[in-house]
Amino acid sequence: MPELTLVEAINLALARAMEEDANVVVLGEDVGVNGGVFRATVGLQQRFGAARVIDTPLAELLISGLCVGMAAQGLKPVGEIQFMGFIYPCIDQLVNHASRLRNRTQGRLSCPMVLRTPHGGGIRAPEHHSESTEAMLAHIPGLRVVMPSSPERAYGLLLASIRDPDPVVFLEPTRIYRAAKGQVEDSGEALPLDVAFVLRQGRDVTLISWGAVVKETLAAADELAGHGVDAEVIDLATLKPYDEETVLASVTKTGRCVIVHEAARTGGFGAEIAALIAERGLTSLLAPVARVTGYDTVMPLPRLEQRYIPSVSRIVAATRKVCEFA
Amino acid sequence: MADDGLPVIARFEVRRRSYLAPDGTLLRPLPDFASDIPTLLALYRGMVLTRAFDLKAVSLQRTGRLGTYAVSLGQEAVSVGVASAMRAEDVLLPSYRDNGTLLWRGTKMEEILLFWGGDERGNLSCGPAHDFPYCIPVGSQAPQAAGVAYAFKLRKEPRVAVCLFGDGATSKGDVWEAMNFAGVHKLPLLFVANNNQWAISVPLKLQTASQTLAQKAIAAGFIGEQVDGNDVIAVRAAGEEAIAQARAGGGPRLIEALTYRLSDHTTADDAARYRPPEEVQARWKEEPIARLRAYLVSQKAWGKAQEEELATECQKEIEAAIERYLASSPRAPETMFDHLYAELPRSYASQRAELSGGSDA
């Protein structure tokens, strides 16, 4: 089994999906000849032709609107927005159309599209290239929001997203595009879209995370083991709709929970999980739920971005505090 | 700018198409289809039915039996003319005011009432199953139309996407981005700008300094044509030509249909706040139904008896539809979950149960 980076796994899944279904088309800025600015679509246009791998004009709203029209016509469009900072012109299409076309036509039309975009900080990129605003998208009924944190899950979850009959926003953590490596078999097997992944079993505390910062969360769990804390680590992977049962089962077992995400705290998706635990898991809690997140500030430019992104030490410190709560 | 002897590198033309003068007399020889009187009678009936239906819908709203409704009064020739130029297999992407277009394509009146009466089932539509429902956000349907047209081109299907929007929509990036892409890929796509002069309270001159809306197509690399949007023969002729060109692989076209919104923007609007009644009165002299009727009468193809018969027939059809609409019951509350996703995710089960009054642990 070859070892691939996360972005190579994305490329592999795209090629696989295009190979097995002629309705799959890829579109976006620079996705054709150039293979995407991160090379996620490299080689696809040579292999599948310019009609199915479309270099669009520089217009994000257009890309999302094209996806809606194509999907309603039975194609399976996979649009790429070059960075999440440029996804906002697509919000009208996502909120008013993609996510509700099935409902507003009572099933007469549907919208099986995927909108992929790299997101998150840590690559010393210019302004507007580093934000994590997944909670905005996870608020939209009718949408699925998926965020892989390893090459294997990127491959399996992207295949699932493309095959899914409803619209999916697929957020790819830029920081681990190449840093994350793993064995990926081109099996064509998808991973389930509403299941969280338990990456590490533990008895003392549940650490819940998603995206790039899963890496720091796992590292924190290793360090915590040295302090005698046995942490369970859950990669939520799909934020909308998310796997409530896995979260609750874990917290029921451990009685303690720390939620780690890169996005700003207030109204972040961690708040939703904390609310779920308060509603349905309160009696098993031995300590207040804690959050380790980005601050409620504007994402700083690269000189300070590492101070914004949750670090291993912040996660360890917060978790120890939760574990010491009597 | 002084010419400084610099060469002119491009010149553009925009043509305007019209056949019937406001009094129904001919301005130039008619296109072939218009020599067939039954065809003209069908267009006439389509416009009369649309107007009668619109007015009835307003009275339903005024009496609390319908929600906000967008009237197409005065613009029936655009709706009907465009619809009549389409084939069933083509895909319509309408704006919220294209009632006549939907009716022509087979959507039932009770379905339109159901939608504006607050029930998604109205969008199930007995029209072509691939047609889009009314687009409420202005102009969002344009990039979708480009996506639909791209699918046709990719699959080599001889079908055309037809996208209608108002003059206000041409100020949005959505419409421009769609036209730009359609030009690049020579998509089988007809854009129709229903230029009714008013975007709620904002007149065209505050919308754009462009001499015509049609010329916006030129920058996207294809033909933009202006038509008299109160002349159903002109709308249909322009539509047929554009759709035939698109179907044959000749790429997109923009039709700017010059018309006038004789009504308020919607039942929630009061146009007297921003435009003088004299302006509206003057525009009544140009409206499309009287114009075609005058021509039909001049051809001895229409008269008072037929007019009365048609009015009665339309009223009967509309009343029957209203009865069916008013007799319908709201859908069961928990069905709001039924078409959210193809399959309801597990985590929604408890909310659905909560709504339906059932228990869920």
Same domain, B51 and B136: yes
Q: Which residues in chain B have Cβ-Cβ distances shorter than 8 Å to A141?
A: 340
Per-residue pLDDT at B361 = 41
Chain B interface residues (partner A, CB cutoff 8 A):
91, 93, 120-121, 123-125, 129-130, 132-133, 136-137, 140, 142-152, 154, 161, 173-174, 177-178, 180-181, 184, 336, 338-342, 345-348
Scanning the structure block, which residue is given the tokens 């009572």? A106
Same domain, A19 and A139: yes
B139 and B188 part of one domain = yes
Q: A20-61, pLDDT tens digit by residue?
A: 999 999 999 999 999 999 999 999 999 999 999 999 999 999
Kindly state whether residues B222 and B359 are assigned to the same domain: no
Residue ending a domain, choose from A148, A183, A218: A183
Assess if residue B103 is contained within a domain: yes
Are B282 and B219 contacting, i.e. CB atoms less than 8 angstroms apart? Answer: no
Domain contains A226: yes
pLDDT per residue over A283-307, tens digit each? 999 999 999 999 999 999 999 999 9
Q: What is the pLDDT of residue A97?
A: 98
- What residue of B is the nearest CA neighbor of A96? B137
Token pair for residue B99? 């009632």
Band the pLDDT of B358: cuts 50, 70, 90. Answer: low
- Do B280 and B220 share a domain, yes or no? yes
Q: Are residues A203 and A65 in the same domain?
A: no
Do A89 and A231 share a domain, yes or no?
A: no
Backbone angles phi, psi at A269, to 5 degrees: -70, -20
B350 is in which domain, residue-wise?
332-361
Co-location of B78 and B104 in the same domain = yes
Does B340 sit within 8 Å of A103, measured CB to CB? yes
pLDDT of residue B167: 97
Same domain for A138 and A277?
no
- Identify whether B123 is part of a domain: yes
| B218 shares a domain with B114 | yes
Q: Are residues A93 and A152 in the same domain?
A: yes
Evaluate whether residue B189 is within a structural domain: yes
B224 and B355 co-located in one domain: no
- A118 lies in a domain? yes
Take residue B297 and report the two structure tokens written for it.
């009468």
Q: What is the pLDDT of residues A130-177, one digit of tens each?
A: 999 999 999 999 999 999 999 999 999 999 999 999 999 999 999 999
Q: Is residue B11 part of a domain?
A: no
Asked whether residue A48 falls in the same domain as residue A171, the answer is yes
State the pLDDT confidence band at B4, using cuts at 50, 70 and 90.
confident
Beta bridge partners of B77: none
A178 and A42 in one domain?
yes
A64-121: pLDDT as tens digits: 999 999 999 999 999 999 999 999 999 999 999 999 999 999 999 999 999 999 999 9
Based on the residue annotation, tell me whether B265 is a catalytic residue of this protein: yes
Is residue A289 assigned to a domain? Answer: yes
Give the end-to-end CA distance of chain A in Å, rounded to a whole number.
47
- pLDDT value, residue B133: 97
Indicate if the pLDDT at residue B360 is higher than 90: no
Residue B356: predicted pLDDT? 87
Tell me: do B258 and B350 sit in the same domain.
Answer: no
The beta-strand segments (E) located in chain B are 16-17, 91-93, 161-166, 189-195, 198-199, 202-203, 224-228, 253-258
Based on the domain organization, do A165 and A26 belong to the same domain? yes
Return the pLDDT at A46. Answer: 98
Does A188 fall in a domain?
Answer: no
Strand partners, B228: B258
How many domains would you assign to chain A?
Answer: 2
Given this model, what pLDDT does residue A326 score? 80
B19 in a structural domain: no
B81: closest CA of chain A, how far (Å): 24
Residue B179 belongs to some domain of the structure? yes
Do residue B233 and residue B316 come from a single domain? yes
The structure's pTM equals 0.97
- Our count of domains for chain B comes to 2
Do B244 and B360 have their domain in common? Answer: no
Q: What does the DSSP assignment read for A216-260?
A: HHHHHHHHHHHTT--EEEEE--EEET--HHHHHHHHHHHS-EEEE
Residues B345, B257 share a domain? no
- For residue B32, the model assigns a pLDDT of 97
pLDDT tens-digit map of B327-340: 999 999 999 999 99
Are residue A169 and residue A22 in the same domain, yes or no? Answer: yes
Interface mutation vs chain A, best among B125, B135, B154, most A CBs within 10 Å? B154
Same domain, A149 and A15: yes
CB contact under 8 A, B144 and A166: no
Considering the domain architecture, whether residues B258 and B361 belong to the same structural domain is answered as no
**Domain range spanning residue A113?**
3-183
- Asked if residue B85 has pLDDT above 80, the reply is yes
Contact A178, A7 (CB under 8 A): yes
Q: Is position A253 within any domain?
A: yes
**Tens digits of per-residue pLDDT, A190-227?**
999 989 999 999 999 999 999 999 999 999 999 999 99
Residue in A69, A96, A110 closest to B148 by CB = A69
B341/A102 CB distance under 8 A: yes
CB within 8 Å: A105 and B133: yes
Whether residue B359 has pLDDT greater than 70: no
Share of chain B above pLDDT 70, in %: 99
The answer to the question of residue B18 being in a domain is: no
Residue tagged active-site, from B17, B97, B265, B352: B265
Among the three residues A127, A148, A183, which one is the final residue of a domain in this structure? A183
In angstroms, the CA A278 to CA A195 distance is 21
Q: Do the chains contact at A59 and B91, CB–CB below 8 Å?
A: no
Task: Mark whether A157 and A23 lie in a shared domain.
Answer: yes
Domain boundary among A183, A207, A235: A183
Helices B37-62 & B76-84 angle (0-180, nearest 10): 130
- Domain with residue A272: its CATH number is 3.40.50.920
Interface touch B146/A62, C-beta < 8 Å = yes
Chain A residue nearest residue B154, CA to CA: A51
* Residues in contact with B37: Cβ distance below 8 Å, sequence separation at least 6, in sequence order: B296, B299, B301
Nearest to A80 by CA among A40, A125, A139: A40
A165: CATH? 3.40.50.970
Query: Are A108 and A11 in a shared domain?
Result: yes
Within a domain: B1: no
